[in-house]
Amino acid sequence: MRHFLSLNELTKDEILYLVDLACRLKSEVKRGFFFPYLKHKALGLIFTKASTRTRVSFEVGINQLGGYSLYLSKNDLQLGRGETIEDTAKVLSRYLDLIVIRTYTQSEVEEFAKYSSIPVINGLTDDYHPTQIIADFQTIFEEKGKLKDLKIAYIGDGNNVAATLLVGASKLGLDIAVATPKGYEIKKEVVDFAKDEAKRSGSNLIFTDNPKEAVKDADVVYTDTWVSMGQEEEKEKRIKDFEGYQVTQELMKLAKEDAIFLHCLPAYRGFEVTPEVIDGPQSKVFDEAENRLHAHKAIMVFVCLGRI
């Protein structure tokens, strides 16, 4: 058993294995074949933030694998009334077989994992969104037929999604250019970690405040909301600060002709992306969203059973 808290702990080989397994599980489902790899396993989902894709795909995914799920909003648990993470983790480990946690700080997920004797999966924190990025790599692989010799451009906020994408790309040896406004860069410790990985993998990492420079010759253009969960009070300021960082058709033209557009969703049309781009032919956002289901199944099988 192992935890899945960020991509930092995974090797290149393990990331590629998860993408491959996600593709295999997807093709099994498309053929109407549901092998009960996790029969009778109980998945708990402890969520302190909203979710459409992550929650639904994990719940449907564990059912397809022969298990079942319990959605546990923090306020319904004694955790919301002050029971410690340590006690909660120890108790839930006696009932459940694996847990997905979506919360604010990465340290909460880490602490939970420390006291949990069952696998803990990070379903998003302020720092990282690793389940998302496995689905994104699966989507890129489906579209491009490879996970090498590609350039990703990330435009916008240096948030949890950007940080995880950077780490993942630097592990896989993909080139990545990140364009963020001043003051919204990816955290220095994550950038340093990625630079170190890039030395081994051969990734070319570019950090700029110029979206045009970032998207030049990109195979994949990626953006995310300018206002992440928990930042609602900063909304007005952020909208001003992110002026010029919208992914428009004009910007897409600077990428490769066959570039795809990705967004983890939820999207805010007219802010980080125009409707023409996200609803246009280059956009693969709904395949990307679907792949959350297949990628999450792969992650659950991997943390419970290892390689199959």
* 228 binding partner (options ligand CP, ligand NVA, none; Cβ < 5 to 8 Å by kind): ligand NVA
Distance, in Å, from the CA atom of 276 to the CA atom of 137, rounded to the nearest integer, reads 24
**Which of positions 98-157 make contact with ligand NVA (CB under 6 A)?**
124
The nearer residue to ligand CP, 51 or 203, going by C-beta atoms, is 51
Task: Answer whether 49's CB lies under 8 Å from 78's CB.
Answer: no
The nearer residue to ligand NVA, 252 or 264, going by C-beta atoms, is 264
Active site residue 304: no
Place of tokens 């395949």: 287
Q: How far is the CB of 293 from ligand NVA (least distance, A)?
A: 15
Interface positions with ligand CP (CB under 6 A): 51-54, 124, 132, 264-266
Give the type of residue at 204: N
Examine residue 77 and tell whether it contacts ligand NVA (CB under 6 A).
no
Active site residue 97: no
In three-state form (DSSP H/G/I as H, E/B as E, the rest C), the secondary structure along 250-270 is: HHHCCCCCCCEEEECCCCCEC
Q: Which of 46, 62, 161, 220 binds ligand NVA (CB under 6 A)?
A: 161
**Which of positions 218-237 make contact with ligand NVA (CB under 6 A)?**
224-225, 228-229
Distance, in Å, from the CA atom of 65 to the CA atom of 68, rounded to the nearest integer, reads 9
* 78 binding partner (options ligand CP, ligand NVA, none; Cβ < 5 to 8 Å by kind): none
The nearer residue to ligand CP, 61 or 173, going by C-beta atoms, is 61
* CB neighbour class for 161 (10 Å; exposed up to 12, middle 13-18, buried from 19): buried
* 16 binding partner (options ligand CP, ligand NVA, none; Cβ < 5 to 8 Å by kind): none
Active site residue 200: no
Active site residue 76: no
Structure tokens given for 225: 């909301």
Distance, in Å, from the CA atom of 279 to the CA atom of 109, rounded to the nearest integer, reads 35
Find the angle CA(253)-CA(256)-CA(261) to the nearest 5 degrees: 75
- Phi, psi (deg, nearest 5) at residue 261: -110, 130
Active site residue 292: yes
User: Which positions are catalytic?
Assistant: 102, 129, 132, 224, 264, 292
Q: Which residues bind ligand NVA (CB under 6 A)?
A: 124, 159-161, 224-225, 228-229, 264
